[in-house]
Structure 1
Amino acid sequence: MESSPLTKTADLQSRQYRYLDIVMAFFVAVLIVSNVASSAKIVDLGFSLFGIPLAFDGGTLLFPISYVFGDVLTEVYGFRASRRVIWTGFAALALSSLVFLLLRFLPAEAAWENYAGTAAYDAILGGMSTGGIALASLLGYWIGEFSNSAVLSRMKVAMKGRHLWVRTIGSTLVGEFLDSLVFVFVASLTGVFGWELFVTLVLTNYLFKCGIEVLMTPVTYLTVRKLKKSEAVDAYDVGISFNPFGGNKKD
């Protein structure tokens, strides 16, 4: 649905939407669950691509869905609404890391120590609170999501709203690459993953995430169409700032 000129500007921010909070809730839930899964297990599919074993962290199964949500948010509501949701997700990830950190230092109950134990907790969930997965997830997520949103937003204006699939896939190629690279680099630097897995994890994370984005394109199209119709909005980010920290100055 093509918007009127008034819906292409910042006054979209003053409107109330029926489904924005629901999209944000699912977006944040995907982030938290995928963050835990990333630390919980490394998956190995048992075969290689161009000589590189296809192994990836557990969060790779779900995390790409956050980019689908990110595409929907930016396409329908615009970059400023997406920026608010991205920061909400960032705060939720930081809070989850603080909770796992607190649990790490609280004394363990005797029976739990016998069948599970602090060592097991540290090995699986400890990285989420001690630099490792926590820092890697936060930095990768922050850089990747904002890059994805900004690229999609600029492409929408440049392409005059045409070819949604080009914009969603194109922005994902940029965002997911930066996300995967930063995530695996920081996680390897802090000892969560071994450096021998660096290329494998970056490549498989990137290919897998981008593949999911491509497969989810029909769902993205359907969701975008329904939301634009229900919310009576189709945001075009003309004359706004793409600064992640806010501001009104045009980029």
Structure 2
Amino acid sequence: MNSGDGKPAQVAANTLRGGQFRYYDFMMAAFVAIILLSNVLGAGKVSQVWLPIYNDYWPFGAGILFFPVSYVIGDVLTEVYGYARARRVIWAGTGAVLFMAFMSWVVVALPPAPSWGNQAAYETIFGQVPRIVLASVCAFWAGEFVNSYVLARMKLWTGGKMLWTRTIGSTIAGEGIDSLIFYPLAFLGAEGWTTTLVIQVLFTQWALKVAWEVILTPVTYLVVGFLKRREGVDVFDEGTDFTPFATRV
């Protein structure tokens, strides 16, 4: 579907309904894997980083190592395949997180064998606190849709130029919504979490995630360019129904 000059053909997203792509499934799998890793390994741990400007350590959530990558992949999905296909991936990620939370609860609740003495450690690692699960799912869902919507709209406004403005701009908006929902809903009033700590981690997470996006911008350019050339399309969301409550493409 390349144009005559060898460049990806510019097409409206709604003309591709039902079409097949080479790498879309791989991008979906990578996105879901990153979401699950971020929820299993990083959501509940607070680490710290030394900031010379403050001459002190500053707390941050360990999920920063994983979760921002999902926004980069989300940017690539929307930029290359359009909002509708990104929306489908977001719903797949949401379903995966919910299933993971349910199965974690089931497995932790199973009575351990008397000869197995690791139940307490297992509960510490994989036990799901309901409010954290709720906060994680709500924040992920809202943040990813804001990210995808802003990027798709900005692509129309910029005519597909200046990719960096929409990847960074959409991340500022999407990660902002994500952090504003997740940290107060998950940790405000929880044991070990003061209001000041929640606010510190919230803004630190937002700033670090946006910084991650900026740092990874060259990588985003490479991946987007590669996928557009291999898929042979450059999708613009003209006439797209931007409701998040659908999975059709």
- What does residue range 64-83 of structure 1 map to in structure 2 within 5 Å? 64-83=68-87
Distance 1:42 1:125 in 2: 16
Which structure is richer in relative contact order (CA contacts within 8 A, separation 6 or more)?
A: 2
Asked if the contact 1:74/1:82 (under 8 Å) is kept, the reply is: yes
The Cα shift of 1:3 comes to 3.0
Task: Output the amino acid matched with 1:194.
Answer: W
Number of positions where the alignment pairs a residue of Structure 1 with one of Structure 2 = 241
Post-superposition Cα deviations, 1:189-223, rounded to whole Å, max 9, x if no partner, equal: 47376134211110111111111100100010010
The Cα shift of 1:13 comes to 2.5
Post-superposition Cα deviations, 1:154-201, rounded to whole Å, max 9, x if no partner, equal: 000011001000010000000001111111111114737613421111
Q: Structure 1 unaligned segments of length 5 or more: list them.
A: none
Matched, 1:244 2:244: yes
Asked if the contact 1:79/1:153 (under 8 Å) is kept, the reply is: yes
Distance 1:39 1:78 in 2: 29
Asked if the contact 2:188/2:198 (under 8 Å) is kept, the reply is: no
- What does residue range 69-108 of structure 1 map to in structure 2 within 5 Å? 69-108=73-112
Matched, 1:147 2:146: yes
Matched, 1:187 2:186: yes
Q: CA RMSD in A?
A: 2.2
Structure 1 window deviating more from structure 2 (11-20 vs 220-229): it is 11-20
Distance 2:140 2:31 in 1: 12
- What does residue range 100-249 of structure 1 map to in structure 2 within 5 Å? 100-113=104-117, 116-118=118-120, 120-126=121-127, 129-189=128-188, 191=190, 194-196=193-195, 197-246=197-246
Distance 1:190 1:102 in 2: 27
TM-score, normalising length: structure 2: 0.89
SS at match of 2:243: coil
Post-superposition Cα deviations, 1:23-46, rounded to whole Å, max 9, x if no partner, equal: 110110000011111246321124
TM-score, normalising length: structure 1: 0.88
Q: Structure 2 unaligned segments of length 5 or more: list them.
A: 1-6
Asked if the contact 1:141/1:179 (under 8 Å) is kept, the reply is: yes
SS at match of 2:234: coil
Change in CA separation of 1:247 and 1:136 when aligned onto 2, cut-off 3 Å: closer
Distance 2:78 2:168 in 1: 13
The Cα shift of 1:52 comes to 8.4
